[in-house]
Amino acid sequence: MHTVLLIGTGRLAFHLGHALRRAKVELAGVAGRDAGKTEELAGSLGCAALRLTDALPRADLRMLAVSDDAIAPVAEGLPSDDTPIVHASGSKSLELLNGHAHRGVLWPIQSFSPGAPIDFSAVPVVVDASDAHTLALLQALAGRLSSTVVHLPFAKRQRLHLSAVITSNFPVFLLREAERLLVDHGIDPGLVHPLWTSSTEKALLNADQAVTGPARRGDVKTIEQQLRLLADEPELRRAYAALSELILHTYHPETRDQQDL
Protein backbone atom coordinates (compact mmCIF):
# COMPACT_ATOMS: atom_id res chain seq x y z
CA MET A 1 0.00 0.00 0.00
CA HIS A 2 1.35 3.42 -0.95
CA THR A 3 1.22 6.62 1.10
CA VAL A 4 0.01 9.73 -0.72
CA LEU A 5 0.51 13.38 0.18
CA LEU A 6 -2.42 15.30 -1.33
CA ILE A 7 -1.61 18.87 -2.37
CA GLY A 8 -4.62 21.11 -2.98
CA THR A 9 -7.89 22.04 -1.31
CA GLY A 10 -10.37 22.61 -4.16
CA ARG A 11 -13.04 20.43 -5.74
CA LEU A 12 -10.58 18.03 -7.36
CA ALA A 13 -8.67 17.58 -4.10
CA PHE A 14 -11.94 16.98 -2.23
CA HIS A 15 -13.19 14.26 -4.59
CA LEU A 16 -9.77 12.69 -5.12
CA GLY A 17 -9.02 12.69 -1.41
CA HIS A 18 -12.26 10.91 -0.58
CA ALA A 19 -11.68 8.44 -3.42
CA LEU A 20 -8.24 7.62 -2.01
CA ARG A 21 -9.66 7.22 1.45
CA ARG A 22 -12.46 4.95 0.15
CA ALA A 23 -9.79 2.84 -1.58
CA LYS A 24 -8.02 2.56 1.79
CA VAL A 25 -4.95 4.42 0.54
CA GLU A 26 -3.01 5.98 3.41
CA LEU A 27 -2.88 9.78 3.29
CA ALA A 28 0.24 11.38 4.71
CA GLY A 29 -1.66 14.66 4.87
CA VAL A 30 -3.24 17.48 2.91
CA ALA A 31 -1.05 20.47 2.02
CA GLY A 32 -2.42 23.81 0.85
CA ARG A 33 -2.01 27.57 0.86
CA ASP A 34 -5.24 28.42 2.68
CA ALA A 35 -5.02 27.21 6.27
CA GLY A 36 -8.79 27.13 6.80
CA LYS A 37 -9.55 25.11 3.67
CA THR A 38 -6.61 22.80 4.31
CA GLU A 39 -7.74 22.05 7.86
CA GLU A 40 -11.32 21.49 6.72
CA LEU A 41 -10.38 18.99 4.00
CA ALA A 42 -7.76 17.26 6.14
CA GLY A 43 -10.28 16.95 8.96
CA SER A 44 -12.83 15.31 6.67
CA LEU A 45 -10.16 12.87 5.47
CA GLY A 46 -8.76 12.14 8.90
CA CYS A 47 -5.20 13.21 8.17
CA ALA A 48 -2.74 16.00 8.97
CA ALA A 49 -3.19 19.55 7.64
CA LEU A 50 0.01 21.14 6.32
CA ARG A 51 1.14 24.42 4.83
CA LEU A 52 3.08 24.20 1.58
CA THR A 53 5.92 25.90 3.42
CA ASP A 54 6.01 23.21 6.14
CA ALA A 55 8.47 20.34 6.20
CA LEU A 56 6.54 17.73 4.26
CA PRO A 57 6.03 14.26 5.72
CA ARG A 58 7.39 11.18 4.03
CA ALA A 59 5.15 9.82 1.27
CA ASP A 60 5.48 7.40 -1.63
CA LEU A 61 3.76 9.91 -3.91
CA ARG A 62 3.01 13.64 -3.96
CA MET A 63 -0.24 14.27 -5.81
CA LEU A 64 -1.01 17.77 -7.08
CA ALA A 65 -4.78 18.30 -7.14
CA VAL A 66 -4.60 21.96 -8.14
CA SER A 67 -5.69 24.11 -11.08
CA ASP A 68 -3.75 23.76 -14.33
CA ASP A 69 -2.18 27.20 -13.92
CA ALA A 70 -0.96 26.31 -10.42
CA ILE A 71 0.77 23.03 -11.34
CA ALA A 72 4.15 24.46 -12.35
CA PRO A 73 4.56 27.06 -9.57
CA VAL A 74 3.45 24.62 -6.85
CA ALA A 75 5.75 21.90 -8.21
CA GLU A 76 8.67 24.33 -8.28
CA GLY A 77 8.20 25.00 -4.59
CA LEU A 78 8.34 21.34 -3.57
CA PRO A 79 11.54 19.50 -2.64
CA SER A 80 13.39 18.02 -5.61
CA ASP A 81 14.09 14.57 -4.26
CA ASP A 82 13.30 11.02 -5.36
CA THR A 83 9.64 11.18 -4.33
CA PRO A 84 7.44 10.85 -7.44
CA ILE A 85 5.22 13.86 -8.11
CA VAL A 86 2.09 13.73 -10.28
CA HIS A 87 -0.57 16.12 -11.48
CA ALA A 88 -4.17 15.34 -12.39
CA SER A 89 -4.64 17.34 -15.60
CA GLY A 90 -5.58 15.73 -18.90
CA SER A 91 -4.48 18.70 -21.00
CA LYS A 92 -1.04 19.37 -19.48
CA SER A 93 2.25 17.56 -20.08
CA LEU A 94 4.82 16.14 -17.70
CA GLU A 95 7.06 19.11 -18.54
CA LEU A 96 5.23 21.18 -15.92
CA LEU A 97 6.92 18.96 -13.34
CA ASN A 98 10.44 19.36 -14.72
CA GLY A 99 12.98 19.58 -11.95
CA HIS A 100 11.63 16.44 -10.32
CA ALA A 101 13.27 13.12 -11.18
CA HIS A 102 10.07 11.07 -11.19
CA ARG A 103 7.02 12.66 -12.80
CA GLY A 104 3.58 11.41 -13.68
CA VAL A 105 -0.06 12.08 -14.49
CA LEU A 106 -3.13 10.51 -12.90
CA TRP A 107 -6.16 11.99 -14.65
CA PRO A 108 -9.71 10.92 -13.79
CA ILE A 109 -12.01 11.57 -16.78
CA GLN A 110 -14.72 13.28 -14.80
CA SER A 111 -16.04 16.75 -14.03
CA PHE A 112 -15.98 17.77 -10.38
CA SER A 113 -18.74 19.85 -8.83
CA PRO A 114 -19.68 20.65 -5.23
CA GLY A 115 -21.59 17.91 -3.46
CA ALA A 116 -21.11 14.38 -2.24
CA PRO A 117 -17.82 12.64 -3.09
CA ILE A 118 -17.86 10.93 -6.49
CA ASP A 119 -17.60 7.15 -6.68
CA PHE A 120 -14.44 6.65 -8.74
CA SER A 121 -15.03 2.93 -9.36
CA ALA A 122 -16.69 3.62 -12.74
CA VAL A 123 -14.59 6.69 -13.62
CA PRO A 124 -11.88 5.92 -16.23
CA VAL A 125 -8.43 6.98 -15.02
CA VAL A 126 -5.59 7.81 -17.42
CA VAL A 127 -1.98 7.53 -16.28
CA ASP A 128 1.41 8.37 -17.72
CA ALA A 129 4.89 8.77 -16.26
CA SER A 130 8.48 9.69 -16.98
CA ASP A 131 9.82 6.28 -15.99
CA ALA A 132 8.72 2.68 -15.59
CA HIS A 133 8.81 2.69 -11.79
CA THR A 134 6.53 5.71 -11.47
CA LEU A 135 4.19 4.34 -14.14
CA ALA A 136 3.85 1.04 -12.27
CA LEU A 137 3.15 2.92 -9.03
CA LEU A 138 0.43 4.99 -10.71
CA GLN A 139 -1.15 1.99 -12.42
CA ALA A 140 -1.36 0.21 -9.08
CA LEU A 141 -2.82 3.25 -7.34
CA ALA A 142 -5.30 3.98 -10.14
CA GLY A 143 -6.35 0.34 -10.07
CA ARG A 144 -7.42 0.76 -6.47
CA LEU A 145 -9.57 3.75 -7.45
CA SER A 146 -11.14 2.60 -10.71
CA SER A 147 -11.99 -0.49 -12.72
CA THR A 148 -10.75 1.24 -15.91
CA VAL A 149 -7.12 2.37 -16.06
CA VAL A 150 -5.49 3.39 -19.36
CA HIS A 151 -1.91 4.43 -20.09
CA LEU A 152 -1.82 7.22 -22.68
CA PRO A 153 1.07 9.48 -23.74
CA PHE A 154 0.59 13.24 -23.84
CA ALA A 155 -0.43 13.53 -27.51
CA LYS A 156 -3.28 11.08 -27.01
CA ARG A 157 -4.25 12.59 -23.64
CA GLN A 158 -4.69 15.93 -25.39
CA ARG A 159 -7.05 14.36 -27.93
CA LEU A 160 -8.98 12.60 -25.19
CA HIS A 161 -9.22 15.80 -23.15
CA LEU A 162 -10.55 17.68 -26.19
CA SER A 163 -13.14 14.97 -26.73
CA ALA A 164 -14.09 15.08 -23.04
CA VAL A 165 -14.71 18.83 -23.28
CA ILE A 166 -16.89 18.36 -26.36
CA THR A 167 -18.72 15.46 -24.68
CA SER A 168 -19.41 17.09 -21.34
CA ASN A 169 -18.92 20.85 -21.16
CA PHE A 170 -20.61 21.92 -24.38
CA PRO A 171 -23.86 19.93 -24.05
CA VAL A 172 -24.26 20.95 -20.40
CA PHE A 173 -23.75 24.62 -21.23
CA LEU A 174 -26.24 24.38 -24.09
CA LEU A 175 -28.79 22.88 -21.69
CA ARG A 176 -28.12 25.79 -19.36
CA GLU A 177 -28.75 28.23 -22.23
CA ALA A 178 -31.93 26.41 -23.28
CA GLU A 179 -33.24 26.61 -19.71
CA ARG A 180 -32.41 30.31 -19.58
CA LEU A 181 -34.33 30.99 -22.80
CA LEU A 182 -37.37 29.14 -21.47
CA VAL A 183 -37.31 30.97 -18.14
CA ASP A 184 -36.97 34.31 -19.95
CA HIS A 185 -40.17 33.52 -21.84
CA GLY A 186 -42.12 32.18 -18.85
CA ILE A 187 -41.88 28.51 -19.80
CA ASP A 188 -41.05 25.71 -17.37
CA PRO A 189 -37.48 24.55 -18.18
CA GLY A 190 -38.29 21.14 -16.77
CA LEU A 191 -40.28 20.43 -19.92
CA VAL A 192 -37.06 19.69 -21.83
CA HIS A 193 -35.47 17.52 -19.14
CA PRO A 194 -37.07 14.23 -20.27
CA LEU A 195 -35.80 14.98 -23.79
CA TRP A 196 -32.30 15.55 -22.43
CA THR A 197 -32.40 12.27 -20.51
CA SER A 198 -33.73 10.16 -23.38
CA SER A 199 -31.34 11.75 -25.89
CA THR A 200 -28.38 10.97 -23.62
CA GLU A 201 -29.48 7.35 -23.20
CA LYS A 202 -29.92 6.89 -26.96
CA ALA A 203 -26.61 8.61 -27.71
CA LEU A 204 -24.73 6.17 -25.49
CA LEU A 205 -26.12 3.30 -27.55
CA ASN A 206 -25.32 4.87 -30.94
CA ALA A 207 -24.46 8.58 -31.10
CA ASP A 208 -24.61 8.72 -34.89
CA GLN A 209 -28.17 7.38 -35.06
CA ALA A 210 -29.26 9.50 -32.09
CA VAL A 211 -28.62 12.78 -33.91
CA THR A 212 -32.00 14.32 -34.82
CA GLY A 213 -33.44 17.76 -35.49
CA PRO A 214 -33.81 20.12 -38.44
CA ALA A 215 -30.13 20.11 -39.44
CA ARG A 216 -30.03 16.31 -39.41
CA ARG A 217 -33.09 16.29 -41.67
CA GLY A 218 -31.70 19.01 -43.92
CA ASP A 219 -34.60 21.29 -42.98
CA VAL A 220 -32.95 24.63 -43.77
CA LYS A 221 -36.22 26.60 -43.56
CA THR A 222 -36.76 25.57 -39.93
CA ILE A 223 -33.14 26.45 -39.12
CA GLU A 224 -33.60 29.90 -40.64
CA GLN A 225 -36.84 30.37 -38.70
CA GLN A 226 -35.14 29.48 -35.42
CA LEU A 227 -32.22 31.76 -36.20
CA ARG A 228 -34.70 34.61 -36.53
CA LEU A 229 -36.05 33.75 -33.06
CA LEU A 230 -32.50 34.21 -31.77
CA ALA A 231 -32.08 37.68 -33.28
CA ASP A 232 -31.77 39.23 -29.80
CA GLU A 233 -29.24 36.54 -28.72
CA PRO A 234 -26.33 37.19 -31.11
CA GLU A 235 -23.76 34.93 -29.40
CA LEU A 236 -26.16 32.02 -28.99
CA ARG A 237 -27.37 32.61 -32.54
CA ARG A 238 -23.82 32.21 -33.87
CA ALA A 239 -23.40 29.00 -31.87
CA TYR A 240 -26.72 27.63 -33.16
CA ALA A 241 -25.77 28.50 -36.75
CA ALA A 242 -22.29 26.96 -36.45
CA LEU A 243 -23.53 23.71 -34.92
CA SER A 244 -26.41 23.46 -37.40
CA GLU A 245 -24.00 24.01 -40.29
CA LEU A 246 -21.67 21.32 -38.96
CA ILE A 247 -24.53 18.82 -38.64
CA LEU A 248 -25.97 19.80 -42.01
CA HIS A 249 -22.65 19.35 -43.82
CA THR A 250 -21.97 16.05 -42.02
CA TYR A 251 -25.26 14.41 -43.00
CA HIS A 252 -25.94 16.36 -46.20
CA PRO A 253 -22.48 16.94 -47.72
CA GLU A 254 -24.05 18.20 -50.92
CA THR A 255 -24.89 21.43 -49.04
CA ARG A 256 -21.21 22.17 -48.25
CA ASP A 257 -20.75 24.43 -51.25
CA GLN A 258 -24.01 26.28 -50.63
CA GLN A 259 -24.27 29.61 -48.82
CA ASP A 260 -23.56 29.42 -45.12
CA LEU A 261 -26.36 29.89 -42.61
| pLDDT, block means (10 residues), the chain with 261 residues | 91 97 96 95 96 92 96 94 96 95 97 91 97 97 97 97 96 97 98 97 96 96 97 97 96 76 62
Element at 31 (helix H, strand E):
strand 26-32
Assess whether 182 and 239 both reside in one domain: yes
Distance of CA 194 to the CA centre of its chain: 25
With respect to residue 117, please indicate whether it lies within any of the assigned structural domains. Answer: yes
Question: Number of structural domains, the chain?
Answer: 2
- Are residue 214 and residue 133 in the same domain, yes or no? no
The residue out of 151, 173, 192 marking a domain boundary is 151
Q: Is residue 261 part of a domain?
A: no
Q: What is the pLDDT of residue 49?
A: 96
Sign of the CA dihedral running 61, 50, 120, 176: negative
Decide which of 151, 180, 210 is a domain's last residue: 151
Q: Is residue 81 part of a domain?
A: yes
pLDDT given for residue 113 in this prediction = 87
Could you tell me the strand order of the sheet in which 26-32 lies? 49-51, 26-32, 3-7, 61-64, 85-87, 103-108, 125-129, 149-151
206 shares a domain with 80: no
Q: Which of 119, 151, 183 is the last residue of a domain?
A: 151
Same-domain status, 100 and 16? yes
Residues 46 and 135 in one domain: yes
Is the Cα dihedral 245, 247, 248, 250 positive or negative? Answer: positive
Is 84 domain-assigned? yes
Specify the pLDDT at position 261: 62
pLDDT at 255: 78
Q: Are residues 146 and 40 in the same domain?
A: yes
260 within domain boundaries: no
Would 195 be classed as within a structural domain? yes
Query: Is residue 119 assigned to a domain?
Result: yes
pTM score of the predicted model: 0.89
pLDDT value at residue 206 = 97
Q: Is the domain of 204 the same as that of 227?
A: yes
Q: Are 64 and 17 in contact (CB under 8 A)?
A: no
40 and 59 together in one domain: yes
Q: CATH number of the domain at 182, please.
A: 1.10.1040.20
Counting Cβ atoms within 10 Å, is residue 117 exposed (0-12), middle (13-18) or buried (19+)? middle
Same domain as 202, residue 101 = no
Side-chain half-sphere exposure of 253, counting CA atoms within 13 A: 1
**122 shares a domain with 180:** no
**CATH code, 29:** 3.40.50.720
Residues 208 and 96 both lie in one domain = no
Q: Which domain holds residue 145?
A: 3-151
> Based on the domain organization, do 30 and 145 belong to the same domain?
yes
In-domain check, residue 239: yes
The pLDDT of residue 44 is 96
